[in-house]
Chains A and B, each alone.
Chain A
Amino acid sequence: MARPRTFDEDVVITRAAEVFSRLGYNACSIDDLVEATALQRGSLYKAFGSKRGLFEKVLNRFLVSEWHGSPAALDLLITALRELVPADLPIAALCRTALDAYEGDAAKLIGGRLLDHLPTHELSKE
Chain B
Amino acid sequence: MPRLVLTDRDLIVHLTAWESIWSLRRSFRVPLAHVRGATEDNGFGGGALGLRIPGTYIPGLIAAGTFIKDGDKQFVYTRPKLQTMVIELAGNDWARLVIGVPDVRAEVARINAAVARHH
Describe A's contact surface by its main secondary structure.
helix
Q: Is A49 an interface residue (CB 8 A)?
A: yes
Number of A-B residue pairs at CB separation under 8 A: 59
List residues of chain A with CB within 8 A of the CB of B109.
87-88
Instruction: State whether A30 touches B69 (Cβ < 8 A).
Output: no
Min CB distance B90 to A, Å, is 8
A45 contacts B43, C-beta separation under 8 Å:
no
Task: Select the residue from B71, B88, B105, B116 with max chain A CB neighbours within 10 A.
Answer: B88
Q: Which of A6-14, A50-58, A70-78 contacts B (4 or more CB under 8 A)?
A: A50-58
Complex Cα distance, B33 from A59, in Å, reads: 24
> Which A14-49 residues have a C-beta within 8 angstroms of B?
26, 29-31, 34, 40-42, 45-46, 49
Q: Are A52 and B112 in contact (CB under 8 A)?
A: yes
Chain B residues lying within 8 Å of A52, measured Cβ to Cβ, are 37-39, 108, 112
Asked if A50 contacts B88 (CB within 8 A), the reply is yes
Is the pair A49, B37 in contact by a Cβ cutoff of 8 Å? Answer: yes
> In the bound complex, how far is the Cα of B95 from the Cα of A42, in angstroms?
9
A49 — which chain B residues lie within 8 A by C-beta? 36-37, 88, 90
B96 touching A45 by the CB < 8 A rule?
yes
Q: Are B116 and A88 in contact (CB under 8 A)?
A: yes
Which one of A2, A45, A52 has the greatest number of beta carbons of chain B within 10 Å?
A45
Binding site for B on A (CB under 8 A): 1-2, 26, 29-31, 34, 40-42, 45-46, 49-53, 87-90
* Inter-chain pairs besides A30-B41, A45-B88, A50-B39, 13 sampled, C-beta below 8 Å: A1-B71, A30-B44, A45-B96, A49-B90, A50-B36, A50-B37, A50-B88, A51-B40, A88-B109, A88-B113, A88-B116, A89-B113, A90-B116
